[in-house]
């Protein structure tokens, strides 16, 4: 069974940093593109970042470029999101997501999400 | 890039059919056959219902179907059931990024 489990969400002050982690199991993590998608309270879904299977190519939504870094450790089946210079509008549930291979970034498995709250 | 445009709400009675639209541009919906639809119940993670415009993942009832014409995609839910009441989001690949719609709250009357 495919499983994704996020951790690391917390309350942080504006300008602060946080690192989210995602533990993956039940599929060949090292061959899978991985993603972070977020959802602000009461709002819709927003794609945040993508990392290719080999960890070399990475893509970000414009609002987080230069502040967030997606990374992975294929030996540990783990995905990460380093978030720096956090802003109030980064407050959201962050989901670790896996795609349907070759499907144009269609997301078939989601973690339960971890809540990041940015507030003073 | 702007979010895809969905109606904020839709409704239907049990057994009826409902169509939810998702409007984009030639840079996203119209440019790729990579439209997906997600169902989200309150407090839960989204669930993939349709991918690549009209493909259903294993386990998704065939009451759910997708289509696309030009820059607009649609999700049809036939034979509405009470458990279909949820938020529905469309998404489209847009060239090294993905854009979501604002979501549609489907109410089963």
Cβ-defined contact of B101 to A44 (cutoff 8 Å): yes
User: What is the average pLDDT across A90-116?
Assistant: 95
Q: What are phi and psi of A72, to 5 degrees?
A: -150, 155
Strand partners, B101: B4
User: What is the average pLDDT across A93-114?
Assistant: 94
H or E stretch at B76: strand B72-77
Asked whether the beta carbons of A70 and A58 are under 8 A apart, the reply is: yes
Optimal mutation site among A60, A99, A104, A108, interface B, most CBs of chain B within 10 A: A104
- Predicted confidence (pLDDT) at residue B39 exceeds the cutoff of 90: yes
The DSSP code for B2 is: P
Average per-residue pLDDT in chain A?
Answer: 97
Q: What are phi and psi of B30, to 5 degrees?
A: -75, -20
**pLDDT cut 70: percent of chain A above it:** 100
Instruction: Determine the pLDDT at residue A77.
Output: 97
H or E stretch at A8: none
Assign B2 a pLDDT band (cuts: 50, 70, 90). confident
Per DSSP bridges, beta strands A3-7 and B104-108 are unpaired
Count the Cβ atoms, other than its own, within 10 Å of residue B42: 7
Instruction: Determine the pLDDT at residue A30.
Output: 96
Q: How far apart are CA A36 and CA B71, in angstroms?
A: 26
Q: How far apart are CA A88 and CA A109, in angstroms?
A: 28
Instruction: Determine the pLDDT at residue B62.
Output: 96
Asked whether the beta carbons of A111 and A4 are under 8 A apart, the reply is: yes
User: What is the average pLDDT across B96-103?
Assistant: 96
Per-residue pLDDT of A20-60, as tens digits, reads 999 999 999 999 999 999 999 999 999 999 999 999 999 99
Residues of B in contact with A110 (CB under 8 A): 45-47
Give the position of tokens 């973690």. Answer: A111
Per-residue pLDDT of B42-52, as tens digits, reads 999 999 999 99
Residues of B in contact with A50 (CB under 8 A): 96-97
- Predicted confidence (pLDDT) at residue B1 exceeds the cutoff of 90: no
Task: Give A60→chain B minimum CA distance, Å.
Answer: 8
H or E stretch at A113: none
Nearest to A32, CA basis, from A68, A79, A69, A80: A79
């Amino acid at each position: 069974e495919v499983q994704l489990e996020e951790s690391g969400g917390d309350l942080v002050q504006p300008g602060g940093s946080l690192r989210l982690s995602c533990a993956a199991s039940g599929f060949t993590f090292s061959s899978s593109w991985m993603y972070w998608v977020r959802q602000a309270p009461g709002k819709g879904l927003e794609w945040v970042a993508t990392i290719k299977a080999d960890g070399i190519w990475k893509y970000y939504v414009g609002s987080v470029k230069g502040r967030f870094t997606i990374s992975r450790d294929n030996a540990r089946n783990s995905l990460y999101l380093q978030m720096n210079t956090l802003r109030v509008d980064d407050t959201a549930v962050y989901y670790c997501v896996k795609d349907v291979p070759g499907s144009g970034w269609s997301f078939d498995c989601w973690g339960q999400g971890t809540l990041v709250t940015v507030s003073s | 890039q702007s979010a895809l445009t969905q109606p904020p709400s839709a409704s239907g009675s049990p057994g009826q059919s409902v169509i939810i639209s998702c409007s984009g541009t030639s840079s996203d919906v119209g440019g790729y056959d990579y439209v997906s639809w997600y169902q989200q119940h309150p407090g839960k993670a989204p669930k993939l219902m349709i991918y690549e415009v009209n493909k259903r993942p294993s386990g998704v009832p065939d009451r759910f179907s997708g289509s696309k014409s030009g820059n607009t995609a649609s999700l049809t839910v036939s034979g509405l059931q009470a458990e279909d009441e949820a938020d529905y989001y469309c998404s489209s690949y847009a060239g090294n990024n993905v854009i979501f719609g604002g979501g549609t709250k489907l109410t089963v009357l």
